[in-house]
Structure 1
Amino acid sequence: MRSGQGDPEQPPGLDPARLRDYLDAHVPGLTAGPLTGEVVPGGRSNLTYVVTDGRSRWVVRRPPLGHVLPTAHDMTREHRVISALAPTPVPVPGTIALCQDADVLGAPFYVMEYVEGKPYRSDTQLAELGPERTKAIGERLIDTLVDLHAVDPVAVKLEDFGRPQGFLERQVRRWKKQLDASRSRDLPGIDSLHERLVAAVPGDAEPTIVHGDYRLDNVLVRDGRITAVLDWEMSTLGDPLTDLALMVAYAEAGKIGPSVVSTVSTAPGYPGTEDVVGRYAQGSGRDVSNLDWYIGFAFFKLAVILEGIYYRFSHGQTVGEGFEAIGDAVIPLIRLGNDTFKD
């Protein structure tokens, strides 16, 4: 899993001594000594830490410090979906413990297994692998999304994990509320994009488990295989094309120049948008003819997510590095959304 950074004695948002006390009480025998931990770099929302007792490693996930949007950082839901997917073809880390007592670390958290693998975030990282291996990784990313959307929610006891009826309408409304909760400046074009999305919401599709933030740097890759899909904080039951569209939106956003989103889509060999959509459609058998609406909404959602992160950064409530350019990326995303979906 991703390498860590920070003060191992007391990383922000993690008290290793209190964590060990909790694990000793609830998972006896797991730890063999005092814990140290480091913040995993690259995260922009929930905080992730690698902790170790000097013999074994685990991963801890908790909400961000400070300003937290309602429903956006639910550790219980994230823990539940990862646990439910363990017996399916979708690769996920094994879960170890869920703590809903905020007194332990200042917020609910969960502990999962450490999985070996690398999250590819930049075109230069992928370029080192060469075009053929890059293409294969991109295709496996698409195929893993097809596998996720093929999981029967009833079979894994996630039939009540969301409310599929009216999913898209609620999603548009929800992300508008998230925007309003973090809005602290003028964002030209975002309100007109929202209005046109509302006016053309597609009807309900057959629901699946959706990840909510599916992209290459949210999976781990080792020896060309995807070893784990991570960051399930936005998962629910809903329209699977929202996952596909967000994957496309991230890829297109990575082509517009220096960006805070992944640039893997510009690496030689990485599947283009037509290839991504075509492979997904063939593997899933789903109709993708109305995908422009979904991609327009994906740009809207991505802009709102980054604006929320920018809000926390501007109020001094973030942990880690690389937040300085986030605010500058929001307007180009809004423009891409308006250019993609013209109703």
Structure 2
Amino acid sequence: MTIRHDLERALGRRVLAVDLVPEGHSGFTYRTLLEGGQQGILRLSPPGARIAGPADIPRQGRLMQALSGAGLPVPEVIAMSEESIIDGRPFVLMAAVEGERIEKLAGLMSDEEIAWSAIEALQRIHALPLEMTGIGHEHAVTPEDEVTRWAWLMKRAPEELTQRAPTLAGLLSANSPPAAEPTLVHGDYHFGNMLFRDGRLVAILDWEIAELGQPLLDLACLSLAARTGRAGAGVPGGGQVDVADELLLDWYGGDAAGYWWYLALTYYKYAAIFGYNLMLHRRGKRLDPMYESRTETIVEFIDEGIRLLTEGSV
């Protein structure tokens, strides 16, 4: 009730319903029904969290507002505030987008159609001038910065699952490719963060770890999710689309010379994210039993990253 009443005061209009969204594991998200029948998606920072990184909801709002205004498939921002006014937290309220999640697309679109629509949208994201992203003033993240960022997170994962993580981190550091011209990077660009309608991608969701950085990061993330078997299924929406890495590279126009490094980094990144969230769950700081099912995935992702850098291919 507190959230609904606070949102009504912020909007100056009636809010008929606020319901927690059960899907997803990366934030406090609610479906809302506004006066007049408009449906929205409300995002809040975690209670008591420092407003930084993934918890920086206002930053996500500024970014999404800029991208929607530029015509990209991003939900429109209805309202947002950097002030702590919804249950003592900043908020972003987005228009709900009518579309299907990847799990419901079986038989409605081919794997190639799904992957191509994701690649086409990715090309548009990476082509957007930095000054039009809403975060164009931020520091561009280098390949070396990426390794450092996820190593910090990996150290907080359960040690019994990450014994080979230092080996992968060392290989990544020793083989770091030259930095490319920075673009906007979604950072979590997989099929589970997309909505589709009438054979096309209509919304890209969850911009919480977006940055200015290396474009092949997004392509590698999409490739990991497109892989079949246990490894591909580790990412939300993974294992749903079976498209070869080479086909994604060809469609995107990427340089294969540095691609395997970014793919290995992506395995390292998701192992770190899953491990960190598992630690939070086990300590009771952010309960989500889903991460207990990712213990084998964490180990397998680290092993796959090592294999990619030692063998040089899939």
TM above 0.5, yes or no, is yes
- Out of 260, 268, 278, the residue aligned to residue 250 of structure 2 is 278
Residue 185 (structure 1) aligned with residue 159 (structure 2): yes
Within 5 Å, which residues of 2 pair with 1:260-299?
260-262=234-236, 264-267=238-241, 270-281=242-253, 286-299=254-267
Matched residue, 1:127 = 106
1:157, distance to aligned residue in structure 2 (A): 5.5
Matched residue, 2:94 = 112
| Cα pair 2:158 2:279 within 8 Å, conserved | yes
- How large is the Cα RMSD of the aligned pairs? 2.5
Instruction: Supply the distance in 1 between the matched residues of 2:302 and 2:49 (Cα, whole angstroms).
Output: 23
Q: Any idea what the Cα deviations from partners look like across 1:116-148, whole Å, max 9, x if unmatched?
A: 11221x4xx33332xx63321221011111111
Query: Larger relative CO (CA 8 A, sep 6+): 1 or 2?
Result: 1
1:290, distance to aligned residue in structure 2 (A): 1.3
Instruction: Supply the distance in 2 between the matched residues of 1:263 and 1:144 (Cα, whole angstroms).
Output: 17
Structure 1 letter corresponding to 2:124: D
- Out of 134, 139, 156, the residue aligned to residue 163 of structure 1 is 139
Matched residue, 2:187 = 212
Instruction: Supply the distance in 2 between the matched residues of 1:155 and 1:64 (Cα, whole angstroms).
Output: 28
Within 5 Å, which residues of 2 pair with 1:1-343?
15-24=3-12, 31=13, 33-53=14-34, 55-64=37-46, 71-102=53-84, 104-120=86-102, 122=103, 125-129=104-108, 133-156=110-133, 158-160=135-137, 162-164=138-140, 167-180=142-155, 182-186=156-160, 187-252=162-227, 255-256=229-230, 259-262=233-236, 264-267=238-241, 270-281=242-253, 286-318=254-286, 322-342=290-310
Structure 2 letter corresponding to 1:302: Y
| Cα pair 2:72 2:124 within 8 Å, conserved | yes
Q: Normalising by the residue count of structure 1, what TM-score does the alignment of the two structures yield?
A: 0.81
Q: Runs of 5+ in structure 1 lacking a partner?
A: 1-9, 25-30
Structure 1 letter corresponding to 2:121: T
| Cα pair 1:295 1:341 within 8 Å, conserved | no
User: Which stretch has the larger CA shift, 239-248 or 79-88?
Assistant: 79-88
Q: Any idea what the Cα deviations from partners look like across 1:237-289, whole Å, max 9, x if unmatched?
A: 1110111112112333x52279442455455xx422221121111xxxx4232
Residues paired across the two proteins, number: 309
Matched residue, 1:4 = none
1:155, distance to aligned residue in structure 2 (A): 4.4
Aligned CA distance change for structure 1 residues 319 and 39 (closer, same or farther; 3 Å): farther
Identity of paired residues, percent? 28
Determine which structure has the larger strand proportion and give its number: 2
Structure 1 letter corresponding to 2:191: L
1:78, distance to aligned residue in structure 2 (A): 1.0
